[in-house]
Amino acid sequence: MTDKIVVFKDKQIRRILHNNEWWFSVTDIVEVLTDSSDSRQYIKKMRQRDPELNANWGTICTPLQLVAADGKKRKINCANTEGIFRIIQSIPSPKAEPFKRWLAKVGYERVQEIEDPELATARTRELYKAKGYSDAWIEKRMRGIAVRAELTEEWKSRDVGESPEYAILTAQISKAAFGMTPSEYKQYKGLDWENLRDHMTDLELIFSMLGEAATTEIARKADAQGFTENRTAARRGGRIAGDARKKLEQQTRAKVSTPENYLDEPEAIKKLKGKS
C-alpha cells in the first residue's frame, strides 16, 4: 500500500493505494464538499438521513491507515471511487459535480498507469522533481523502486505471504545491510510516517538496492520456497550489502548511514542533494 495526498481546489484529500486502486478518506471528501467544521457529525446525520447508505456503510467503507492530523498513522474510513460516488449522492452540494469530474480523472489516470507503467514512472519523476530532488538522486530512487518491485514479485512467486511477511524479510535485509531495521533507521533519521527511502542519500539508496538485488538473485539460484527459505536468502543478500558497506567505510573513514534527511533545514538538504 502506498499513501499520498492529493489536492482539490486547495483542499488536501488523503488517499491510499489498496488492492491496486485509489481509496480516499471519507472525512476529507465530506469536508471538501460541505465545508463542515465537524465532518464526523455530518457523516452521522447523513447516514441517518439515508437508511440505504447506512445499511451498506460497512461494505462501502474500509478502515485503512492514513496519516492523521497529529502526524501519526491511524485507521481512517476510506472508500474507492465507486463508494465515494455513492456517498456524494447523499450530499446536497453545488461542489459535487466538479468534484465528480475530478474524481473520475484521478481514477482514469490510475487505469492509464496500470495499462502503461511508464506513465506512473514519469509522474513519480515529476513529483520528486517538484519537491527539489536532484536528477542524480531521482535516477537512483527510480532504479531502487524497480529493484524493490522485482524482489516483491519474486517473493510472490515463491509462496511468501504479503504483509507482514514482506515487512519481516525487508527488515532482515536492512538489518544485515545497515545494522538497523527500517523502523530503527527511521528513528535514527528522526522520521515518523515518512517514506524512509525518500530520505536516504545516494549511497544509502545504492546499498539498499544491492541488498535487495542480491536477495532476489540468491532466492532464484537457491530456488527458495516459502517464508523460511526466503528469510535465509534475505539475510544472505543483506550481508552482501553490509560487507560492501563496511569495506567502503574502512576506505573512506566515513559512515554510509547518516541521520540527515530531507526534513532538515537547508544545509542538510543541500548535502543530500549534492551537485546534479
* CA nearest neighbour of 67 among 125, 13, 18: 13
pTM for the whole thing?
A: 0.61
Share of the chain above pLDDT 90, in %: 51
Which residues neighbour 269 within 8 Å (Cβ) at sequence distance 6 or greater?
A: 132, 262
pLDDT of residue 114: 53
pLDDT of residue 273: 47
Mean pLDDT in residue range 4-20? 70
Asked if residue 222 has pLDDT above 50, the reply is: yes
Average pLDDT of the residues of the chain: 84
Q: Which has the higher per-residue pLDDT, 252 or 66?
A: 252
Q: 7-21, 197-211, 257-271 — which is least confidently predicted?
A: 257-271
Helix/strand/coil for 200: coil
- Give DSSP secondary structure letters for 9-43: TTEEEEEEEETTEEEEEHHHHHHHHH--S-HHHHH
pLDDT of residue 73: 80
* CA nearest neighbour of 213 among 195, 238, 190, 196: 238
Question: Domains in the chain, start-ordered, CATH in brackets?
Answer: 2-115 (3.10.260), 136-273 (no CATH)
Look up cell 549511497; give the residue.
Answer: 203
pLDDT of residue 189: 93
Q: Which has the higher per-residue pLDDT, 35 or 196?
A: 196
In angstroms, the CA 184 to CA 180 distance is 6
Q: Tens of pLDDT along 16-59?
A: 877 767 888 999 888 888 877 888 899 999 999 999 999 999 99
- Give DSSP secondary structure letters for 51-66: HHHHHTHHHH-EEEEE
63: left (phi over 0), alpha (psi -120 to 50) or beta: beta
Share of the chain above pLDDT 70, in %: 84
Q: Tens of pLDDT along 223-256?
A: 999 999 999 999 999 999 999 999 999 999 999 9
In angstroms, the CA 203 to CA 220 distance is 26
Asked if residue 264 has pLDDT above 80, the reply is: no
In angstroms, the CA 9 to CA 31 distance is 12
Q: 35-39, 55-59, 147-151, 177-181 — which is least confidently predicted?
A: 35-39
Beta strand 2-8 with 21-25: parallel, antiparallel or unpaired?
Answer: unpaired
Q: 37-41, 126-130, 145-149, 207-211 — which is least confidently predicted?
A: 126-130
- Give DSSP secondary structure letters for 170-190: HHHHHHHHHSS-HHHHHHHHT
